[in-house]
Structure 1
Amino acid sequence: MISVIVPVYNVEAYLCRCVDSLLRQTAVDTEIILVDDGSTDGCGALCDRYARQDPRVTTIHKPNGGLSDARNAGLEIAKGEYIAFVDSDDWVAAFFLQRLLEGLQNSGSDICECEVYHTAGAGVAAAAAPKAPICFDTESAMEQLLRNGAFRQHVWNKLYRAEVIGDIRFPVGKTNEDEFWTYQVFARAGRVCKIEDPLYNYFQRPGSIMNAGYSLKRLHGLEAKQARQRYIEENYPQLAARAGADLWLSCVYAAQMSLKYLAGDDFESARKTIDHYRCGISINCRMLSALSQGTAVWAIMSKLNFWGVCRLRNMLKRGL
């Protein structure tokens, strides 16, 4: 069985598109867990209607606790040997689960990821003939994840063996929750594969968490990447330079966005937070070797004047 966990919060206009795409899946044995996270619109009633009409659907109603809390609630009751996550304003191709399951089983992997189609409306039709998955061992997959290569931090374009998730849960109260979670699950996987077909439609709607503008909460991503860096240093020291480079790049991006969108007390708070995380990064030869030549030059300049370089990058529209 594949358990699909769908956190639901005030997406009445989009929920049916999402759930209907899951009910049309060609994978034969699925359970769809709709977690109504205290919705104040009609989502709760819609979830109940789906549960009454189709035995594959289970609905949980809970007080609002955020995306992480909703996913955790779904994980607590999931019965499947495999787990997938789908956000309630997104939707998937009819063979999303089947392709991921076949890729996972045929390659002997613990996690299978597909490509994502970013859309403001219509979806994309994936090719009918599946492409063979590209496979990586644990360390290679982690390296790809760190540099945003073959793999991304998103939790929702993947299928996982439930046993590799185990007791790993999402951090409640944090944004960028995927950054805290995905690397831990990758570390438990003996093998990870990638399907290059876009089977997941990521809906970029106004008002969503990641499109609601820049705020101090977005700095949770730096906390996650610092925790990841420490984990990598302890468990994959050969990848520590890559993890440090990614944390530095994230600090630079956060500084640029803070300079552009924040002011007053919010900006001063952001400055202190970013300075805290960047001071733990050693810009040395090993880290510079993990960067492209041009990016390495920016890193060296930023070591001399971090905020001045970030202002210059904004003026030049670099990295925004």
Structure 2
Amino acid sequence: MQPKISVIVPVYKVEKYIRKCIDSLLNQTYKNLEIIIIDDGSPDGCPEICNEYSQKYSCIKTYHKLNGGLSSARNYGVEKTECEWIAFVDSDDYVEQTYIEDLWNLREKFKADMSITRVVRENEDGSGRPAFISVFEERCVDKKNAIFEVYKAELVGWSAYGKLYKREHLVKYPFPDGYYEDCACMYRILGECEKIAIGNYEKNYHYINRQGSILQSDLKKEHFRIFDICKEFEVYIQENYPDLNILTVLFFRFAVTQMLNCQSMTEDEYNKIYRMYRSIFRSNLKMVLSDHRISNSQKAFMILHCLTPSIFRLQREVLLLIKKRRVDK
């Protein structure tokens, strides 16, 4: 018999999206499912909507708590469930019918301690989906190679969603408070696993690029936390997998790119952030360019980060213009 899997859904100010999210979970082909909704003190109509669903469907449990942030809500859900296996879905996203079944079958195929799949990122109107997504074979890797694949962030990434976890690992390494909570602890969770299954079910999870989300906002001091996380990750890699040092360089590059592309800021702020870690990129450029495991697009971005802020800003504007024209067509 298939085990019961708990899907934890943190909810905060997503009244426009929450029904589509919950409905997509109710339609799962994997039937032995528990849906735990954590209302994180949402000030809109979400609490009433969540109560409505939990009263109508026995598989749904709704819990209300004071606002504590995304990590707090996820961790609260982990505390409330007794299921051995857990998945997360963000309340402004939605999933296809086979999302949980595919994650479970992938885990079962390799008898893995965790399964990971890709996700589709799209805009609220459904546009913005990549025209082409590279295909790769399902595989099972050890913890070291899983950390490499996840933090190389080409096939799969470190986000909490798109994964099936053992509850015990989430209890040992709960999500920390603050922004970028998933990349701050995912390597430690992976480090608890002996076998990790990676699959190519990218169409199963729809991540919605929504205006007003944490990563689409004005620059705040909290956003600089990403650089502290990079330094913590660097220490972990040096202590455990020093031959994967290239990951720390790629992670710093991600942090700078994330800040510049997703937060609104002044030109002085932009230039300061860009130059903050440019010496790291320049001193490690040869290592990145010579590594056959790194894609050409990653290498191109590394070269751009070694140049001037104005050139990086120009390429960003050109890419946005190209995307806009594709959408208009």
Structure 2 length-normalised TM: 0.80
The residue that corresponds to 1:50 in the other structure is 53
Which of 189, 194, 201 is residue 193 of structure 2 equivalent to?
189
User: Which residue does the alignment assign to 2:241?
Assistant: 236
- The one-letter amino acid of 1:139's match is K
Tell me the distance in 2 between the aligned counterparts of 1:170 and 1:234: 22
CA-to-aligned-CA distance 1:89-118 (integer Å, 9 cap, x gap): 111111111111011011111221222122
Cα distance, 1:81 vs structure 2: 1.2
| SS of residue paired to 2:283 | coil
Q: Please, which of 76, 87, 104 is the counterpart of residue 73 of structure 1? A: 76
What pairs with 1:26-37 in structure 2 (closer than 5 Å)? 26-37=29-40
* TM-score after normalising by structure 1: 0.82
Confirm or deny: 8 A CA contact 1:244 1:282 kept in the other structure: no
| Letter of the 2:86 counterpart | I
Give yes or no for contact 1:255–1:274 (8 Å, CA) kept in 2. Answer: no
| CA deviations over 1:25-67 (Å, ceiling 9, x no partner) | 1212211111000111111111112121122111111111111
Contact 1:141 1:151 in 2 (8 A): no
Identity of aligned residues (%): 30
Structure-2 separation of matches of 1:319 and 1:147: 22
Aligned to 1:179: 183
Is the 8 Å Cα contact of residues 254 and 274 (structure 1) preserved in structure 2? no
- Equivalenced residue count is 301
Which residues in structure 2 correspond to 1:265-304 (within 5 Å)?
267=269, 271=272, 275=276, 283-284=283-284, 286=287, 289-290=290-291, 294=300, 297=303, 301=306
RMSD: 3.1
Shift in CA distance, 189/44, structure 1 to aligned 2, threshold 3 Å: same
1:283 aligned counterpart, secondary structure: helix
- Give the Cα separation in 1 of the matches to 2:37 and 2:86: 14
* C-alpha distance 298-3 of structure 1, shift in aligned 2 (>3 A): same
Cα distance change on mapping 1:256 and 1:21 into 2, 3 Å: closer
Alignment check: 8 A CA contact 1:219 1:254 kept: no
Code of the aligned partner of 2:241: Y
Shift of 1:80: 1.0
Partner of 2:63: 60
CA gap of 1:3–1:256, structure 2 versus 1, over 3 A, is closer
SS at match of 1:47: helix
Q: For structure 1, which segment, 137-146 or 208-217, has the greater mean C-alpha deviation from structure 2 after superposition?
A: 208-217
Partner of 2:11: 8
Which sections of structure 1, spanning at least 5 residues, go unmatched? Answer: 125-130, 303-308
Check the 8 A contact 2:139/2:199 in 1, yes or no: yes
Determine the structure 2 residue equivalent to 1:306: none
What displacement does 1:7 show? 0.3
Distance 1:295 1:40, change over 3 A: closer
Q: Secondary structure at the match of 1:202?
A: strand
Residue 173 of structure 2 aligns to a residue whose secondary structure is: coil
Aligned position for 1:151 = 156
Instruction: Pick from 245, 248, 256 the counterpart of residue 249 of structure 2.
Output: 245
Measured after TM superposition, the shift of residue 246 of structure 1 is 1.4
**Does the 8 Å contact 1:36/1:44 carry over to 2?**
yes
